[in-house]
Amino acid sequence: MSPASPSVSRRLLARLRDVMAGGGSAEERLSRVVGLIAADMVAEVCSCYVMRAGEVLELFATEGLKKGAIHNTRLRVGEGLVGDIAAHARPLALADAQSHPNFAYRPETGEEIFHSLMGVPIIRGGRVVGVLVVQNRTMRHYTDEEIETMETVAMVLAELVASGELVSRDELVPVDGNALLPLRLEGIRLNGGVGIGTAVLHNPRIVIRRLVAEDPDIEHERLKKALADIKQALDDLFSRPEMRDGEHRDVLETYRMFTEDKGWLGKIGEAINTGLTAEAAVQKVHEDMRARMSQISDPYLRERLHDFEDLANRLLQHLSGESGAASKGELPADAILFARSMGPMELFDYDPKRLRGLVMEEGSPTMHVAIVARALDIPVVGRCKDALDKVEPLDPVVIDGDNGQVFLRPSDDIRDIFFDALHLRQQRAANYAKLKDLPAITSDGIAVRLMMNAGLLLDMQHLHECGADGIGLYRTELPFMARSSLPDVVAQTTLYRKIIDQAAGRQVVFRTLDVGGDKVLPYWNPYEEDNPALGWRSIRITLDRPAVMRQQLRALIRAADGRELSIMFPMVAEVAELVQARRLLDMEIAHAIASGHAEPRIKVGTMLEVPALAFQMDSLLPLVDFVSIGSNDMAQFLFAIDRGNPRIADRYDPLSPAMLTFMRYVASKCDAAGVPLSVCGEMAGRPLEAMALLACGIRTLSVSSPAVGPVKTMIRSLAVAPVRAYLDHLLKLPDRSLRDRLRAFALDHDVIL
């Protein structure tokens, strides 16, 4: 057979369209289809396997194998060559199939006389719903064009296979969880907060009514126009006042680049050339990408594929004439979105005043939509397995972003509990607002500096709203993560200057680039590591790539323009690393002065996250102006615990004698040397833990903006001396946690938690 040409593929598609539109049962039509494919592909065999419950592929139709094998031949996903194609969602072409180690012989089929095999997955909704196979007696080498033709045919067949006429849709629905009963789903926190509302399914499936094209040139023009419309929509979005600045704008600038990705658009163009309409071509490439996503382990690549999905959905809306749920005017006033995943631009389709939360089956804190959601202050729960299979449109929902939980169809009792909690949060927020301008001073006269953590330009507005004394931790990595290339000195300078300006004289502590581990940059190839948290990350990266650190330090110095500048180096494990980092800083200070810039007034600090550094305090403290304990990483390293492992994440309590003894030791060393010490991890933002930190001698806390009010309330109700004396006794106990004892103390002494 000669290589399949676009005209051959279009002719085959036209014949398939006529067969599928004809009479007879679905199985009769499928039988005619495999015969047509076998003839057109010059193959002795064409077979179609359909996915059934339990991930079993059943032979439903064949031309060339024994008819008695129909409905009797079954292969599990991963079993045999057919199962291998389904497991990996990729085509397979073999000139000598029987010599392949995965070949599984089924005597009832009579296939022993056929040597060569080509198979492609039948994909619908990102899931494999079947496998289409052709076989030949000779050792035939199938061409790339023939594989492309088979993939195109499989896409058309997907509509028939997934229609419910061959296998009932109910058979493939997961059986765990009755759709009518209340259900609690577990996920991970991507953004905190509580939302109560009504389920809205994001991007309901767009039905493509026209698969086969009459004129490819017309389809290419339709695709071109749809892309132009999307680019215009992006330009309109950028013109909004709230989109002028911030990392969320960088996210969408990166998204704009996907609309010009030649590789992706080239695949769509090739699919159009095979005879598909523009929307069918987009859907084909889209489905193939979704199926293969499950085979990709790299977190950055998976998250960027979500952006391609967003773009594909938009193209389908434009090409099919259908619009998303957001533009139909039917969005409830209390919408909670459910999605397998989302691209960053999609969230802007919805009125943020009507959004109460977002639930995704996939996701991570670093994905673009999570960054945008944090900027919009929307609770988000990710990695919520099978959420779309278990929720129905307009179901009542409660989302608990703080604890990574979603309650579907909650009972009245559950709803009442969360309504009360939400009402109480609102009342507390009003009370906290009254404290905004009052000092954080304990009842026995100890002043506490209460700072705020930030990572987005949009966070800066909260500095003045919550009444924090300054920014104790500005995470500079988020702008790096939101872009598709390394931001240059000019871009960084512009951003840092805006941050300093908006702080209006209050201190801002800039932490230098802290990436690696679970924070991946798109323009650096990820380094495969067995233990990323203990690997090439944070200051280890920037010391190995000093040009990156020098550019960032140069931008910070220029942005300060002679004003006071606080710079903090992360994850320093030994004093030698700090000395090396300071050497780079001194070089940039000299460069700034030589270039005519104002002489900077710089305070230099270090994060204390690695326990080893605590044993070098005497040599460390003369070199720094301040120290900040990162309690999240410190607890992880102190207890040798993987924070991302749900089995052990809560095994050790930061309110343990070990952790608090460590805190008190560091505080005493810093106090003796006259070096300010702060704590800037999650521990500082919880009132009970903050009380214990003050008892350990720590006088500066840096917390998230929502935590400023609760922690300040605790501080103003606390006398430090009694709890410090009580802690002296507690640290001698062998208890694994002092939490209950400290909470009881607070209740007995009227400390407001």
Instruction: List, by residue number, the catalytic residues.
Output: 368, 680
Amino acid at 549: M
Are β-strands 470-475 and 700-703 bridged in parallel, bridged antiparallel, or unpaired?
A: unpaired
Q: Is 270 in contact with 304 (CB distance < 8 Å)? A: no
Secondary structure element (H or E) that encloses residue 262, with its range: helix 262-273
**Residue appearing with tokens 């939360």:** 357
Spell out the long-range contacts of 374-378 with Cβ–Cβ below 8 A and sequence spacing 24 or more.
Answer: 374/191, 374/456, 375/246, 375/247, 375/248, 375/456, 375/458, 376/347, 376/352, 377/191, 377/193, 378/191, 378/193, 378/195, 378/347, 378/352
Phi, psi of 605 (to 5 degrees): -135, 175
Are β-strands 188-191 and 183-186 bridged in parallel, bridged antiparallel, or unpaired?
A: unpaired
DSSP 8-class letter at 531: -
Q: Is 343 in contact with 368 (CB distance < 8 Å)? A: yes
Residue 384 makes CB contacts below 8 A (sequence gap 6+) with 185, 186, 187, 359, 360, 361, 406
The gap from C-alpha 516 to its chain's centroid, in whole angstroms, comes to 15
Please state, as a whole number, how many other Cβ atoms lie within 10 Å of the Cβ of residue 235: 10
3-state secondary structure of 509: strand
Pair of tokens at residue 86 = 């389904």
CA distance linking residue 339 with residue 190, whole number of Å: 14
Angle in degrees, CA 427, 429, 433, rounded to 5: 120
Phi, psi of 380 (to 5 degrees): -135, 130
Amino acid at 139: M
CA distance linking residue 720 with residue 510, whole number of Å: 30
CA distance linking residue 295 with residue 290, whole number of Å: 10
CA distance linking residue 551 with residue 369, whole number of Å: 28
CA distance linking residue 405 with residue 184, whole number of Å: 7
